[in-house]
Amino acid sequence: MIEVLKTALSSPIGSFAFVFALMVLGGWLIFWVTKKVTQINAEHSGFKTTVDKMDKNIDDIRKDLSYVKGSIDLIKSINPGALYQSQSPITLTELGKQVAIEIKADDLIARNWGQIETKLDREISNKNAYDIQQYCLENISVEPELYFDTSGLNSLKNFAFNQGKPLQFYTRLLGIMIRDRYLERKGIAITDIDKHDPNPK
């Protein structure tokens, strides 16, 4: 085939053999370039998927580390469990209810409920009581900026600063309140949390 093309290309310019050879060569070049571009795109697509998975894993690790750091900060703070009792299902203490009033938690949650509910619907894959609780406690406490407007979050930060407590001391309280509201809207009993706990007490 290559010899035929060489012979045709050596024909006088303008002859049928020369034009035909150019057309065959052009067609072959188009086929070859298309094949290479498709191959590169396929490799790039696979690479992009791998990078996206790595980004998600890194983001999950970052969230977990932030949650652990917040937990350590809570342990260091004075009486960290005063706002909520750790006995399952986790609930606010009387002090926690009082602090919720002070920080206007109901107003903050109500004002941002649209984006909060949308994010919970999208992010929580297993809609059972335990997974909803874990998501609310872990994610809302670590990334409150994804759930609350700037002015409300700044007000909460100022409150935490004035009280000398870490922000997670209060965002976990908000996480519990959001969990309660979300479970109620989904018609799920709070007592179902223990039914789905993979490590029952």
Domain boundary among 14, 45, 76: 76
How many CB atoms sit inside 10 A of residue 178's CB?
24
Predicted pLDDT of residue 35: 72
Q: Which structure tokens are listed for 4? A: 């035929």
pLDDT at 118 over 90: yes
How many CB atoms sit inside 10 A of residue 186's CB?
15
Q: Kindly state whether residue 201 falls inside one of the protein's structural domains.
A: no
d(CA 121, CA 65): 24
Predicted pLDDT of residue 144: 94
Closest CA to 174 of 96, 63, 71: 96
- Kindly tell me the number of DSSP H helices and DSSP E strands found in the chain: 9, 2
Predicted pLDDT of residue 15: 53
Predicted pLDDT of residue 87: 74
Count of CA atoms in the C-beta half-sphere (13 A) of 173 = 30
Q: Kindly state whether residue 125 falls inside one of the protein's structural domains.
A: yes
Predicted pLDDT of residue 101: 96
Domain boundary among 47, 76, 105: 76
Task: Give the least confident one: 39-48, 89-98, 134-143, 144-153.
Answer: 39-48
Is residue 70 within 8 Å of residue 143, measured between CB atoms? no
| Claim to verify: residue 69 and residue 38 sit in the same structural domain | yes
Into how many domains does the chain fold?
2
Q: Kindly state whether residue 154 falls inside one of the protein's structural domains.
A: yes
How many CB atoms sit inside 10 A of residue 5's CB?
16
* Average pLDDT in the chain: 77
| Claim to verify: residue 102 and residue 62 sit in the same structural domain | no
Predicted pLDDT of residue 192: 87
Is residue 84 within 8 Å of residue 173, measured between CB atoms? yes
Q: Which structure tokens are listed for 10? A: 């050596």
| Claim to verify: residue 63 and residue 139 sit in the same structural domain | no
How many CB atoms sit inside 10 A of residue 98's CB?
11
**Coil, strand or helix: which one is 92?**
strand
Query: Which amino acid is located at 73 in the chain?
Result: D
| Claim to verify: residue 40 and residue 127 sit in the same structural domain | no
8-28: pLDDT as tens digits: 445 555 455 555 555 666 666
DSSP state of 144: G
Predicted pLDDT of residue 8: 46
Closest CA to 71 of 148, 142, 19: 142
Work out the average pLDDT over 102-118.
Answer: 96
d(CA 19, CA 25): 10
d(CA 93, CA 177): 12
| Claim to verify: residue 89 and residue 47 sit in the same structural domain | no
Q: pTM for this structure? A: 0.62
| Claim to verify: residue 8 and residue 102 sit in the same structural domain | no
| Claim to verify: residue 83 and residue 158 sit in the same structural domain | yes
| Claim to verify: residue 123 and residue 183 sit in the same structural domain | yes
| Claim to verify: residue 72 and residue 166 sit in the same structural domain | no
Domain boundary among 42, 76, 110: 76
pLDDT at 74 over 50: no
In order of 11, 117, 147, the CA distances from 186 in angstroms are: 80, 11, 19
Domain that holds residue 15: 1-76
pLDDT at 90 over 70: yes
**Coil, strand or helix: which one is 139?**
helix
Q: Kindly state whether residue 160 falls inside one of the protein's structural domains.
A: yes
